Amino acid sequence: MEPLPETAAAGSRKRRRRGGGRNRRKPPPPSSSSQAASPPSPPVKRRRGAASAAAKGRGIASKPTSLLEKMRARLSGGHFRMLNEKLYTCSGQDAFDYFTNEPDLFDVYHAGYQEQMSHWPEQPVNIIINWLKSHSALWTVADFGCGNAAIAKNVKNKVFSIDLVSEDPSVIACDMAHTPLEPSSVDVAIFCLSLMGTNYASYLQEANRVLKPSGWLLIAEVRSRLDPNTGGADPNKFCEAISELGFSLVSKDAKNKMFILFYFRKKEKSKVVKNIDWPHLKPCLYKRR
């Protein structure tokens, strides 16, 4: 037999090596000891789907709470509008009797009032507080319809805080037409958005009674109530009526779009007109937001 050519022999050897590779046994799996020595596998990343599902689950749980809060806010707002309308459309005595029997409702009213005031760019009570700070701290002040008694809490003056109902023992709870203050006992009388009620004139008459001669009368009133173009009273007639009560208008601040602030001073001696023609001040009713 002739020997294979060198190239053929080499090819045969290569084929045998390749063929032998096919029959070669696979290496056994690593032992438990080798597995323990191997580096730890990288942590499994949390799938986005799972995180999204968890987030959605949290969102679903929070919706009832959010809805409940909205319902409570709506209910509270409805109570405020109802109470606000009542204060503007009944007499001071009726309002005093009503809130004396239901004092919690007065808290509801003031909570709604504060929420409404939070939307105003400027609040008249702050202007009045700054005005008092710029004058004598020895003056005695009567704050008619004081609300949360912000004036008394922010000035050094002695302040008689007056309102229909209050849990604050420093507040005098009464009908503002009949206060326990002595005649000619105060230097400043303030009505900050508090000339409410069908008998608002009697509140001003009471302020006149307790004010000293040359005492100050400050009135902040919602602009719409003194706008004849929208059914409000004529501001000039309003000032004339107060003048007939025994006051003179010192100045009027009408630059704010929400309210007008009047500064009156009690005349030293004046003859009060008996039958004053008080203009009708329309109720200030808040619209549902």
CATH number of residue 137's parent domain:
3.40.50.150
Count structural domains, the chain.
1
Residue 108: pLDDT over 80: yes
Rg (CA), the chain: 41
Q: What's the pTM?
A: 0.72
| Any domain includes 217 | yes
Distance CA 286, CA 289 (A): 9
**What is the reported pLDDT for 79?**
76
Q: Does residue 50 lie within any of the structural domains? A: no
Q: Does any domain span residue 68? A: no
Q: Quote the distance between the C-alpha of residue 216 and its chain's center.
A: 30
Task: Provide the residue range defining the domain that includes 186.
Answer: 122-266
Residue among 172, 111, 120 nearest 146 (CA): 172
At residue 62 the predicted structure's pLDDT band, cuts being 50, 70 and 90, is very low
Q: Which residue has the higher pLDDT, 253 or 4?
A: 253
Query: Would 69 be classed as within a structural domain?
Result: no
* Residue 170 in domain: yes
In the block, which residue shows the tokens 């060198």? 6
Is residue 78 one of the residues assigned to a domain? no
Q: Check residue 247 and give its pLDDT.
A: 97
| pLDDT at residue 15 tops 70 | no
pLDDT tier at 159, thresholds 50, 70, 90: very high
Reported as a single tens digit per residue, the pLDDT across 203-216 is: 999 999 999 999 99
Q: Which two tokens stand for residue 80?
A: 């405020």
- Of 111, 36, 122, the closest CA to residue 77 belongs to 111
Residues 258-273 have a mean pLDDT of 91
Query: Tokens in use for 57?
Result: 């689950």
Q: What is the C-alpha separation between 6 and 17, in angstroms, rounded?
A: 16
